[in-house]
Structure 1
Amino acid sequence: MSPEQSTPRGGVTVGTLSDLPPLEAGAVIYLRHWFSGSETREQMRRDFQVNFGPEMAESAFEAFGFLCNFCAAHGRRPLVRHGMTCKCLGADENCFANLLASAAEGQQDDAHILASLIVTPRKAQELTRLASDCGLLMQQIMSAQLPPRPARPASATLH
């Protein structure tokens, strides 16, 4: 396979949407909605209205859109996304979802590292702040009460 025909590394499947907690799965789904056109954006707006009510929905919709547009405008490269109905989770989508979750949980160092994978280093702090705001909103949308993560020593392994 030639380099032109290979899958962009950001699109490599790293899991499935069903493997993700609600906040992260929602982040991926709405990321796909945002970049898939006006019809899917309107569907997203309606979802926000159902979850937030008309006043807060517009602010949440605009905040998420600003976050996505910021990634597009200042990204190191375009974020690779899977299709709207795809059950796979791509590497870039996973990074975006984990950015929102870590920022919402107050894990600013982790969020900043993830942000620096998406945008240039000069813009990483701003993306971290935007992700924190949107991540908190996503928690409300997905009705997710993320459980506190147990403290682990720095050398601990998960598997």
Structure 2
Amino acid sequence: MSAPTSRGGAAVGRLSDLSPVEAGAVMYLRLWGDGVEGRANAASDFDIALGANQGRATMLTLDRLCSLCAHHGRRPLVRHGLGCACLGADENCFAQMIAAASEGAREDAMMMASLIVRPDFAPALASLSEELGLALRRMTAAVPLPTTGHQPPISVLH
């Protein structure tokens, strides 16, 4: 019998089931949690897709958002590995929060934020979620999000 899995890490789906914004949110959460190299890869993606100024601003938003989750979370968010095709419960909540905020569904984003962080930090998390979600929307409108997080988007003719 295997060891019990944390509820936050339990697989609830697959990344391929998510919208591009949701999948991007999970990928960048994973990259941020992967340390300095992962964060550098995320920053590079943002710079390539959004330009230097907007890329830096988006990376700062990601850093603030993930730091808020790490320092004021109800508990640590459980992430799957970068190459994992599974979607964990915590990752799904994070992705849904980002997507809802980017669509202007602020009350839904606040509800999900309150599941991730203490209630007094939920408004800040929802606001940062909207910023990141809108940036991910701009990225997906311009080019598809990279699937690995460490390769820049490549244009394909056929």
Normalised by the length of structure 1, the TM-score is 0.85
Q: 2:110 aligns with which of 108, 112, 115?
A: 112
Deviations 1:60-92 (A, max 9, x none): 111111101111111000000000100000000
Alpha-carbon distance between aligned partners in 1 of 2:44 and 2:131, rounded to the nearest angstrom: 20
Tell me, yes or no, if structure 1 residue 57 matches structure 2 residue 55. yes
The 5-angstrom pairing of residues 15-26 of structure 1 reads: 15-26=13-24
In structure 1, distance between residues paired with 2:141 and 2:90: 24
For 2:140 and 2:9, locate their aligned partners in 1 and report how far apart those are by CA, in whole Å: 24
SS of the equivalent of 1:81 reads coil
Give 2:4's aligned residue. 6
Question: Which runs of at least 4 in structure 1 moved beyond 6 Å after TM superposition?
Answer: none
Q: 1:76 aligns with which of 74, 77, 90?
A: 74
- Residue in 2 aligned with 1:152? none
Deviations 1:74-121 (A, max 9, x none): 100000000010000000000000000001111111111100100011
Corresponding residue SS for 2:76: coil
Report how many residues are paired: 142
* SS in structure 2 of the partner of residue 143 of structure 1: helix
Q: Which amino acid aligns with 1:46?
A: S
Q: For structure 2, which runs of at least 5 residues remain unmatched after alignment?
A: 143-158
Aligned partners of 2:23, 2:101: CA distance in 1, in Å?
A: 15
Q: What does residue 157 of structure 1 align with?
A: none
> Which stretch shifts more, 67-76 or 122-131?
122-131
Specify every segment of 5 or more residues in structure 1 that has no aligned partner in the other structure, as ranges: 145-159
Q: CA deviation at 1:135?
A: 1.0
- Separation in 2 of the partners of 1:72 and 1:143? 30
**Post-superposition shift, 1:51?**
0.4
What is the distance in 1 between the residues matched to 2:63 and 2:5? 26
Which structure has the greater CA radius of gyration? 1
The sequence identity of aligned pairs, in percent, is 50
Q: 2: distance between equivalents of 1:103 and 1:27?
A: 12
1:28 equivalent in structure 2: 26
C-alpha distance in structure 1 between counterparts of 2:5 and 2:91, whole Å = 14
